Amino acid sequence: MHQDSVLHNLSLTMVLAPLLGAIVAGFFGKVIGKTWTHRVTILLLMVSFACAIYIAKLLILDGMPSYNGVIYTWADVGKYQFNVGFLIDRLTAVMGITVTFVSLLVHIYSIGYMAEDDGYQRFFSYISLFTFMMLMLITANNLLQLYFGWEGVGLVSYLLIGFWFHRETANFGSLKAFIANRVGDMGFLLGIAAIMTYFGTIDYSTIFADAGNFTQTTITVLPGVHWNLITVVCLLLFIGAMGKSAQMPLHVWLPESMEGPTPISALIHAATMVTAGVFMVARMSPLFELSQVALTTVLIIGAVGALFTGILGVIQSDIKRVVAYSTLSQLGYMMVGLGASAFSAGIFHLMTHASFKALLFLSAGSVIIGMHHDQDMRNMGNIRKYMPITYVAFLVGALSLSAIPPFAGFYSKDAIIDAVHLSTIPGAHFAYICVVLGAFVTALYSFRAFFMTFHTKERMSEGLRKNLKESPWVVWVPLVILVVPSIILGAMIAGPMLYDPHSILGNSVYTAPQYDVLKIMAGHWHGAWSAVAESIYTPAFWMSIAGVAVAWLSYIVFPRLPNFVTRRFSWVYYILDRKYGFDDFNQIIFARGTVGLGKALFKYADLKLIDDYMVNGSGRGIEWFSRTLRKTQSGYLYDYAFAMILGLLVFLLWLLLG
């Protein structure tokens, strides 16, 4: 009881502190001024971060049992209970640290990045609110609260993408994010509804406990078509995850979201919100493990995304877009990990990714500050000379992202690739090929961006070059802090996270015995350093090295090579430039198609059917009806009385004779 109340209070503090910050910044921001706004929000976020760390200590190091409790019963409607409740287990603890850590750094970083902006207080209010929503999402003990957090982070995300609402592209990007997410949310909501209908509850613990009883249940989707209930539920939930975690083909919104301020890209569109889908699938692991179809789907979609969105990153010239496509690709990796039932590996990659991707984004942001908000890499070059700290930070991020041992990304990505290799789930072979090729692509685009930005000749204007200098300390301090986990996080916790019999996530994720690939891998695990030594025997390692090498060759040694390739394979370039046609497809089929359908309907249905037949045919009938109706509403008393008596008469006739 005592332990429970400790966890209860800690998690409540962790969740509510950012909300308090958001309220203070949002409502009293103008009163207390810029300085106090960021002081208050950052202080409260520190409190939240401290709570997250302490929770993790209690759960993971001290082995305290997880806490599942209702904070408040929102509504008790018949047999359903809608609660606000916390499920604080190891998965939550790990996510809590990740979220609050990155959020804290982004808060600090924003002091410098947003210094000149008019919406300073509004910005801090939004990011604190976002943190609150994200924490609600990960601490939820039921689907409704998960959904609340889910929509909450989405809402703040649109607000922040459109933060600079005077930019046309910003509005378009925010709209696109909104629509793509609606598609995903529709699936998610249907999934929740299906669970509510069949399980009769939305409480995680009850759902997971009952899941075994429903393995043979089928539901009739169309007459004669019977589908397995668990599969349908998992696929619907996964559609939700596809929207939020930007999986193909719902990924189109994420590159557009780069219109928002860079700290937002780091926090929301790299480290936290977009991983909500990954978190949700991991949270729902007891359900997903019961459906091989669902696992295969997760695996294939993830793998396709990992490879093909990565390729798009190679041709981007906007530094933020490169990182954005890399995020898409890495999210694909996480999904692959989940699909291969290596849930710990997926979450592990989520954590390492959060640190090195935030690092990359914030470094990119630092460059963008220096470049006075010019994001085009073709105008950069040799920035290493002017921004040494940013240079080192970006290099570490790129190395980690490219999975070069012993950086953090290596351990997590290597684990995923291994897991897929060992997995027996249908589609694993295809996925394996994708992720191994993906390793090459990842290294290629990361180092392409790295070389183009920090090496080669200065291509910026002379005036800009003169003023180019390292960003202020509030900007580079978070970079330095983020460098640390980007290097050591992998080596430090790879063992306990993935291979220990009592791993960090413990029983907060569930793996069916027949899919448990991590158990096999644990047999080959001999510690972090031997993993580095063994890596030279893996194809993925050589793929990464090759990627770095190709980037070095084509941008440093033979700078004309890219141009040559582009001209020689212009059709490939065209396909990539059109982003495989997803945007065009959406534009043509959904946007223009809807308009076309509307026109066709108007021409044939409206003019022919309604005008000719309905209006001229039964139109007279309707007209008569409306005239009669108007007469009864005449305002004359006797009409009203008569209507009453007629109503009475009809009821009498019906009940007595009917």
Partner 1 sequence: MDLLVEQIIFFAFAGMTVLAGAVVVAVRNPVHSVLALVVAFVASAGLWLLLEAEFLALVLIFVYVGAVMTLFLFVVMMLNIRELPSREGFVRFLPLALFALAAIVAMMVFVIGPQHFGLAQYAIPAHHGADYSNIRELGLVLYTHDVYPFELAAVLLLIAIIAAISLSFRGRRVGTRSQVPSAQIAVKSADRIRIIKMASEPKVKR
Partner 2 sequence: MTFTIPNFIPAIPEIFMLVMICVILMTDLFLGKRIKSIAYSLTQLTLIGAFLLTMHQYGMPKVYTFDHMYVLDKLAILSKLAILLVSFFVFLYSREYIGMTKLPRGEYHILGLFAVLGMMVLVSASNFLTLYLGLEVLSLPLYAMVALKRDSGVASEAAMKYFVMGALASGMLLYGLSMLYGVSHSLDFTAVAKVVSETSPAHSLILIFGLVFIIAGIAFKMGAAPFHMWVPDVYDGSPTSVTLFISSAPKIAALIMAYRLLVESAPGLIIQWQHVLMVIAVLSIVLGNVVAIAQSNIKRMLAYSSIAHMGYMLLGIIAGTKAGYASSLFYVFTYSMMSMGAFAMLLMMSKSGFEAENIEDLQGLNSRNPWYALMMLLIMFSMAGIPPAVGFFAKLGVLEAVINANMTWLAIVALIFAIVGAYYYLRVVKVMYFDDPKDATAVTAPMDMRIAITINGLAVIALGLFPSALIGLCRNVFFG
**613: partner contacted, choices partner 2, partner 1, none (Cβ within 5-8 A by kind):** none
**With respect to partner 1, which residue has the nearer C-beta, 480 or 653?**
653
Taking CB under 8 A as the rule, does residue 640 contact partner 2? yes
Q: Which long-range contacts (CB under 8 A, 24 or more apart) does 33-42 make?
A: 34/120, 34/121, 37/120, 37/121, 37/124, 38/107, 38/110, 38/111, 38/124, 41/107, 41/124, 41/125, 41/127, 41/128, 42/104, 42/107, 42/108
Residue 641 CB, nearest distance to partner 1 (Å)? 10
**336 Cβ contact list (under 8 Å, min separation 6):** 298, 299, 302, 303, 306, 346, 416, 420, 431, 434, 435
**Candidates 379-387, 439-447, 593-601, 649-657; binding stretch for partner 1 (CB under 8 A):** 649-657
**With respect to partner 2, which residue has the nearer C-beta, 83 or 272?**
83
107-127: burial string, b at 16+ Cβ within 10 Å, e else: bbbbbbbbeeeeebbbbbbbb
Taking CB under 8 A as the rule, does residue 643 contact partner 1? no
Tokens linked to 2: 């005592």
**Candidates 436-444, 486-494, 559-567, 632-640; binding stretch for partner 1 (CB under 8 A):** 632-640
Taking CB under 8 A as the rule, does residue 646 contact partner 1? yes
Taking CB under 8 A as the rule, does residue 656 contact partner 2? yes
DSSP alpha helix (H) spans, 114-252: 120-139, 143-161, 168-199, 204-211, 229-244
Asked if residues 241 and 339 have their Cβ atoms less than 8 Å apart, the reply is no
Cα–Cα dist 520/524, whole Å: 7
**202 Cβ contact list (under 8 Å, min separation 6):** 80, 82, 142, 143, 144, 192, 195, 196
**Candidates 198-206, 332-340, 509-517, 647-655; binding stretch for partner 2 (CB under 8 A):** 647-655
Taking CB under 8 A as the rule, does residue 633 contact partner 2? yes
The one among 533, 553, 622, 652 contacting partner 1 by CB under 8 A: 652
**Candidates 85-93, 214-222, 581-589, 641-649; binding stretch for partner 2 (CB under 8 A):** 641-649
The one among 553, 591, 622, 641 contacting partner 2 by CB under 8 A: 641
In the chain, what is the straight-line distance between the N-terminal and C-terminal CA atoms, in Å? 63
610-640: burial string, b at 16+ Cβ within 10 Å, e else: eeeeeeeeeeeeeeeeeeeeeeeeeeeeeee
Q: For residue 88, give Cα distances in angstroms to 85, 239, 283, 351.
A: 10, 26, 12, 18
Taking CB under 8 A as the rule, does residue 1 contact partner 2? no
Residue 633 CB, nearest distance to partner 1 (Å)? 14
Residue 27 CB, nearest distance to partner 2 (Å)? 14
**With respect to partner 1, which residue has the nearer C-beta, 571 or 638?**
638
Cα–Cα dist 287/233, whole Å: 8
**73: partner contacted, choices partner 2, partner 1, none (Cβ within 5-8 A by kind):** partner 2
**With respect to partner 2, which residue has the nearer C-beta, 591 or 643?**
643
Taking CB under 8 A as the rule, does residue 646 contact partner 2? yes
Taking CB under 8 A as the rule, does residue 645 contact partner 1? yes
Taking every pair of Cα atoms in the chain, the longest distance, rounded to a whole number of angstroms, is: 98
**Quick one: DSSP state of residue 405?**
T
Tokens linked to 543: 């793929």
The one among 77, 224, 656, 658 contacting partner 1 by CB under 8 A: 656
The count of chain residues that interact with partner 1, using the rule CB under 8 A, is 11
In this structure, what is the dihedral angle of CA atoms 220, 226, 227, 228, given to the nearest 10 degrees?
Answer: 100
Asked if residues 499 and 522 have their Cβ atoms less than 8 Å apart, the reply is yes
- For residue 173, the tally of other CB atoms under 10 A from its CB is 22
Residue that is written with structure tokens 């790990």 in the block:
94
Q: Which long-range contacts (CB under 8 A, 24 or more apart) does 609-613 make?
A: none
Taking CB under 8 A as the rule, does residue 636 contact partner 1? yes
Residue 525 CB, nearest distance to partner 2 (Å)? 49
Cα–Cα dist 293/289, whole Å: 10
For partner 2, the binding residues in 442-501 under the rule CB under 8 A are none
**With respect to partner 2, which residue has the nearer C-beta, 30 or 519?**
30
Taking CB under 8 A as the rule, does residue 647 contact partner 2? yes
For partner 1, the binding residues in 500-519 under the rule CB under 8 A are none
Cα–Cα dist 252/173, whole Å: 10
**209: partner contacted, choices partner 2, partner 1, none (Cβ within 5-8 A by kind):** none
**571: partner contacted, choices partner 2, partner 1, none (Cβ within 5-8 A by kind):** none
Residue 636 CB, nearest distance to partner 1 (Å)? 6
Residues in a beta bridge with 140 = 86
Residue 37 CB, nearest distance to partner 2 (Å)? 23
For partner 2, the binding residues in 385-414 under the rule CB under 8 A are none
**With respect to partner 1, which residue has the nearer C-beta, 607 or 649?**
649
For partner 1, the binding residues in 67-106 under the rule CB under 8 A are none
Taking CB under 8 A as the rule, does residue 639 contact partner 2? yes
H helix and E strand count, the chain: 28, 4
Residue 635 CB, nearest distance to partner 1 (Å)? 12
**With respect to partner 1, which residue has the nearer C-beta, 558 or 642?**
642
Taking CB under 8 A as the rule, does residue 655 contact partner 2? yes
Cα–Cα dist 459/376, whole Å: 11
Taking CB under 8 A as the rule, does residue 197 contact partner 2? no
Residue 395 CB, nearest distance to partner 2 (Å)? 48
The one among 75, 591, 595, 653 contacting partner 1 by CB under 8 A: 653
> DSSP labels for 112-149?
HHTTT-TTHHHHHHHHHHHHHHHHHHHHBSBHHHHHHH
Residues in a beta bridge with 326 = none
Residue 73 CB, nearest distance to partner 2 (Å)? 5
User: Pattern 71-90, binding to partner 2, x per CB under 8 A?
Assistant: -xxxxxxx------------
Residues at the site binding partner 2, with contacts judged by CB under 8 A:
72-78, 632-633, 635, 637, 639-641, 643-644, 646-648, 651-652, 654-656
Residues at the site binding partner 1, with contacts judged by CB under 8 A:
636, 638-639, 642, 645-646, 648-649, 652-653, 656
